[in-house]
Structure 1
Amino acid sequence: MISALKRFLIGRPLKSNELGEQKLNKTKALAILSSDALSSVAYGPEQILIVLVTIGAAAFWYSIPIAVGVLILLTALILSYRQIIFAYPHGGGAYVVSKNNLGVNPGLIAGGSLLVDYILTVAVSVSAGTDAITSAFPTLHKFNVEIAIVFVILITILNLRGVTESASILAYPVYLFVFALFILIGVGIYNILTGGVSPELHPKIGTPVTGISLFILLRAFASGSSALTGVEAISNAIPNFKDPAPNNASKTLMMMGALLAILFSGIIYLAYYYGITPRAEVTVVSQIAEETFGRNFMYFFIQGTTALILILAANTGYSAFPLLAVNLAKDKFIPRMFLIRGDRLGYSNGIIILAVTSIILIIAFQAETEHLIPLYAIGVFIPFTLSQTGMIVKWIREKPQGWLPKLIINTIGAMISFIVTMMFFLTKFSQVWSVLVFLPIILFVFYRIRKHYEAVGDQLRLTTCEPLMAIEGNVLIVPVAGMTNVVANSINYAKSLSQDQIIAVYVSFERDDEKNFEEKWKKWQPDVRLVTLHSHYRSIINPLTKFVDTIEHKASDANYRVTVIIPQFIPKKGWHNILHNQSSLLIRASLLFRRNVIITTVPYHLKK
């Protein structure tokens, strides 16, 4: 039944040679890898105005030069990540660049920051999209957490079905959002050019503003730069592209940059010209749409596609998190299970872990993750800064042909990214201080995992200096609970291995049971030695493990190994297991970590 449900939800398993069919073309890749960056248009411009409104509406004209600064940073990042795509065509993005050029620790800081950032991407995006839906239907507000979890599960199932299938479905809402905003910006600019919008609604550019300062402007710039989260996702996901992967990834990145620049600057310009003031209950995009179209179909179309893109922004995390995890797992800094492809050739373990951790965050913060947005933004600007710096080191060290313009691009990107990072720390320290705690913890965990894998590797090599113990023979211990076909099956198996060193062990709770069982055993299996153990506390495990330890100690002196053969019957139907006490599983679990004890389960399959 479970297998049938899995097939229904995820689809049939794919052969390894079908991997090429799971690669993305540019159209689908643009949709699923740009959803995070494009969705930030819905809140990035608003973040600038929220800072400027503290000075007054007269300061809103500063949103235009601040937006120009954001676009300069976007250009530097796009050009830089384009260089990263060709320099590191196997993916890994900021982690690989930082590790190769700045060292392991900076690489792990970048990688760890991005892993956490992708988890936050899913939690924040889904929660924001849920808020947009429940704002339209207030009666659903009390179910925010449940709705957000359902969305996470649906997106997870889509991604488990494979990259191309999820892209085929999720591409439509992304392109609908882009289409809706192009209409909004186009009609808005047409209204402005035809005099449909009064120029009195906004302050003129250059109007003197009392109380404005460089600190306020930098703070607004840093807040607006949150619109650039997700720009790095394409460089992490190069292996998902059809060949030639670097060329296709580069073209997709440039297209994403162009779309983001047009949409971001268009919303900023309309918000300025319309004199939009940010309000807690209504988003800036909603106000612009209402001013442009009124409360008609187009207004609700724009709001609906905005809600969808906010939810589907989570898909960028699902695309980039597993591939980043693969690079970290290859270097043995996280568990190797992240290297395994699932039935549909996706890295399903990474997808599932991302979903589970995101759901935990949603529950912990009751789907109200607004105060996580600064943490979410700084989690990506730290890797931005490190990757740009890493590329600076690469160009200075290698000096390839035409390296000077590339160096200038990366230097500008690194400086601006560093300024944004510092501004987040200075202006929102109460919300981002946890970065200073979790990054050292993540590094500690990475190194502990790496140390474990290195220790395991040293011990598993044939060249290890630790000599293997010579084995002269086996002592076979068979725990028995009665005289049944299950026990007879296990005794016969034990006899096939050894005729002399077999010990059957029976644990009794009553003295009378011991004598009765011994008498019956002598008649049933006279050639197999029986040891009866009395349990004062009605426990099978404690007396049995003490007996095994005693035999193991004596056997090791003679270079003998102890093998515990556990009889176990297997019911015909899986649900029948809950009707039995599973003593065999408990015995196995209690003996599993005994150093020189081998455990063998002999199954006896029931037929009805």
Structure 2
Amino acid sequence: MNLLYLKRLFLGRPLSNDEAPHEHIPKWKALAVLSSDALSSVAYATEEVLIPLVLFASAAIVWSLPIAFAVAALLIILTLSYRQTIQAYPNGGGAYIVAKDNLGEHAGLVAGAALLIDYVLTVAVSVAAGVENITSAFPVLYSHRVLLGSSMIIIIMLINLRGVRESATIFAFPTYFFVFSFIVLILSGMWQLFTGTITSAAPIVHEVYPSIPIFLLLRAFSSGCVALTGIEAISNAVPIFQPPHQRNAKITMAWMAVILGIFFLCITLLSHVYGITPKEGETVISLLARMVFGNSFLYYAIPISTALILLLAANTSYAGFPSLNSLIAADRFLPRQLRSRGDRLVFSNGIIGLSISAIVLLILFKGKTHRLIPLYSVGVFVSFTLSQAGMVLYHFKHKKPGWMTSSFFNALGAVTTCVVLGVVVSTKFIHGAWLVAFLIPSMVLVFTRIHRHYLLVGKELTLIGQLPSPEELKPVKHTVIIPVSGIHRGILEALRYALTISTDVKACYIEFDPETTERLKVQWQDWAPHIPLEVIKSPYRAVVRPLLRYIDRVEHATGSEMVTVIIPEFVTKKWYHNFLHNQTALFIRTALLFKPRKVVTTVHYHLRKT
């Protein structure tokens, strides 16, 4: 009762299936839920571009603006491409569905594996970056960043377990607080720049750009592409929009792309002209805000809003990861438990699994964003490429009105993201991308093994192709065996039940001490003289193995088609008192689970006072 009360307190009352339509959300809430991942990348994308440049030479950071424009151009291409996906797949056009339907099963599994990895990394990276912004403003918390991050993930998990509509309402304020704060930061920075309040550290456009290795430029570009992570989330979640689903999803995607593009370009521009370079212990966003606002309250609004949006950016994964798990599980490539919705009409198992995986990553990488980023982009661009390539084939197969224009945008997106994927893998392979490159085929292998298992199980259980026969329901001859530890009320309850289901009932006792055995025999004659009691000697004090041998002997001697083992068990009034009692019954049930033609029944005797 106490556990149920706590569950209701934290998660709320159960929702019926009839309440599912009310879980649809309007565009302004969807922007908060589904765009927080993409928008939050503004907080670290500029810094990721600057880090490889400044490591080469401080003069190389002048390339940050051209790189930012290249990333913005890729954003436009992907936005146009995913609008076609929304139109073609009104039930959610994630990379898994698109690739599986158009490129084949294995391509779909690769896309699914890449997306699952991406979702987990999104939570880990977003939370780690959010905590870094908090510690930038409050350095005393720096050494506790892993604990802070893990706590934040648990809080986000609990909010998401409450349901889609409630989480959208909760997350709307931090998202719009972030948007408003950055608008103030950008306008204030631009105003100071154009009014001459501050002296520009560098011109916006340079007549001559320093010569740097092409590989370094590509690495900086691939790092900046983290700004594009999460933009596919809207196309994956079209059904959660209020009707008309597709139109609202496309409008929301346009809003997200405009906000993301403007923010990323402006933050990179301001960082360039203010002469900001990455610094250990403080983020680029914090440095920029400090230069624009000083140490006023407006400065603290920036890292706080940034931390909030980064922490809540993880919510994009909580919308996508469980749903994708459900789709893959429905195709029998993941355990079926992941298909089921919980009390609050969300995929609870997927939400919990995502949280645990992200916490493990935070611990392994010590909560440092820069260590996690190299793992981040590979899965993203694998799914981008497969999704866009699948859409090209979709248009050629269906040839709906305007298919040539749509296929052009998707083909452009596929080619572009494929090139970027090659750049990301080649520039970040030794920095951690190799791990994702290893995990994706490993996960596909696991998917196929799970699928094979379900197919074999179905083949063995199916009745298709067989004619009904009365022999199938003919009663079986079975013997009942009751292992006993003594004689008490719980044992008597089990004996009574055994006599109601069979005329062939046997009791057995594992002997450790001959004197105890003799006392039991006397008591047995008083209470159950008509039921035979077999004493099994166990000189090595084992219980399970001698019992299993006895069951096999009885089965062979009686010729029974089925052996029912009844386990008497008393239950204490208070649940935690059960830990004080021998748990032998659990080991017996576990051992018999893998024995064919054995039925295990537990007869509980509930204590009233203790």
Q: TM-score, normalised by structure 1?
A: 0.95
Q: How does 1:556-567 map to 2 (within 5 A)?
A: 558=559, 560-567=561-568
Match of residue 486, structure 1, among 481, 486, 490: 490
Q: How does 1:338-357 map to 2 (within 5 A)?
A: 338-357=338-357
Residues 492, 54 of structure 1: CA spacing in aligned structure 2 closer, same or farther, 3 A cutoff? Answer: closer
What is the aligned partner in structure 2 of residue 461 from structure 1?
462
Code of the residue aligned with 1:198 in structure 2: it is: T
1:541 is displaced (CA, Å) by 1.5
What is the aligned partner in structure 2 of residue 4 from structure 1?
5
What is the aligned partner in structure 1 of residue 534 from structure 2?
531
What is the aligned partner in structure 2 of residue 418 from structure 1?
418
What is the aligned partner in structure 1 of residue 150 from structure 2?
149
Q: Retained in 1: the 8 A contact 2:219–2:428?
A: no
Q: Retained in 1: the 8 A contact 2:114–2:380?
A: yes
Code of the residue aligned with 1:386 in structure 2: it is: L
Q: Retained in 2: the 8 A contact 1:58–1:203?
A: no
Q: Retained in 1: the 8 A contact 2:222–2:420?
A: yes
List gaps (5 residues or longer) in structure 1.
Answer: none
Q: How does 1:434-513 map to 2 (within 5 A)?
A: 434-463=435-464, 471-499=475-503, 501-513=504-516
What is the aligned partner in structure 2 of residue 519 from structure 1?
522
Code of the residue aligned with 1:220 in structure 2: it is: A
What is the aligned partner in structure 2 of residue 372 from structure 1?
372
What is the aligned partner in structure 2 of residue 585 from structure 1?
586
Residues 204, 580 of structure 1: CA spacing in aligned structure 2 closer, same or farther, 3 A cutoff? Answer: closer
Q: State the Cα deviation string for residues 252-309 of structure 1 (Å, max 9, x = none).
A: 1111111111111211222233233333343222232222222211111112111211
1:516 is displaced (CA, Å) by 3.5
- Identity across matched positions, percent: 45
Residues 505, 204 of structure 1: CA spacing in aligned structure 2 closer, same or farther, 3 A cutoff? Answer: closer
What is the aligned partner in structure 1 of residue 107 from structure 2?
106
Q: Retained in 2: the 8 A contact 1:511–1:534?
A: no
Q: How does 1:196-345 map to 2 (within 5 A)?
A: 196-199=197-200, 201-203=201-203, 205-345=205-345
Partner Cα separation in structure 1 for residue 56 and residue 561 of structure 2: 83
Count of paired positions = 604
1:359 is displaced (CA, Å) by 1.3
Q: Retained in 1: the 8 A contact 2:81–2:410?
A: yes
Residues 369, 271 of structure 1: CA spacing in aligned structure 2 closer, same or farther, 3 A cutoff? Answer: closer
Partner Cα separation in structure 2 for residue 204 and residue 573 of structure 1: 72
Code of the residue aligned with 2:499 in structure 1: it is: K
Q: Retained in 2: the 8 A contact 1:130–1:144?
A: yes
Q: Retained in 1: the 8 A contact 2:381–2:420?
A: yes
Partner Cα separation in structure 1 for residue 261 and residue 578 of structure 2: 60
Residues 502, 471 of structure 1: CA spacing in aligned structure 2 closer, same or farther, 3 A cutoff? Answer: same
What is the aligned partner in structure 2 of residue 384 from structure 1?
384
Question: Are 1:81 and 2:82 counterparts?
Answer: yes
Residues 543, 213 of structure 1: CA spacing in aligned structure 2 closer, same or farther, 3 A cutoff? Answer: closer
Partner Cα separation in structure 2 for residue 439 and residue 465 of structure 1: 41
1:195 is displaced (CA, Å) by 3.0
Q: TM-score, normalised by structure 2?
A: 0.95
Q: State the Cα deviation string for residues 305-336 of structure 1 (Å, max 9, x = none).
A: 11211211111111111111111111111111
1:384 is displaced (CA, Å) by 0.6
- Specify the SS of the correspondent of 2:482: strand
List gaps (5 residues or longer) in structure 2.
Answer: none
Q: Retained in 2: the 8 A contact 1:591–1:599?
A: yes
Code of the residue aligned with 1:503 in structure 2: it is: K
1:486 is displaced (CA, Å) by 0.8
Partner Cα separation in structure 1 for residue 519 and residue 298 of structure 2: 86
- Specify the SS of the correspondent of 2:41: helix
Code of the residue aligned with 1:32 in structure 2: it is: V
Which moves more between the two structures, 369-378 or 337-346? 369-378
Code of the residue aligned with 2:513 in structure 1: it is: E
Q: State the Cα deviation string for residues 542-577 of structure 1 (Å, max 9, x = none).
A: 21111012222344xx45311111111111111120
Code of the residue aligned with 2:481 in structure 1: it is: I
Q: Retained in 2: the 8 A contact 1:458–1:464?
A: no
What is the aligned partner in structure 2 of residue 408 from structure 1?
408
What is the aligned partner in structure 2 of residue 361 from structure 1?
361
Code of the residue aligned with 2:287 in structure 1: it is: Q
1:473 is displaced (CA, Å) by 1.6
Residues 146, 64 of structure 1: CA spacing in aligned structure 2 closer, same or farther, 3 A cutoff? Answer: closer
Q: Retained in 1: the 8 A contact 2:44–2:129?
A: no
1:138 is displaced (CA, Å) by 2.6
Code of the residue aligned with 1:397 in structure 2: it is: K
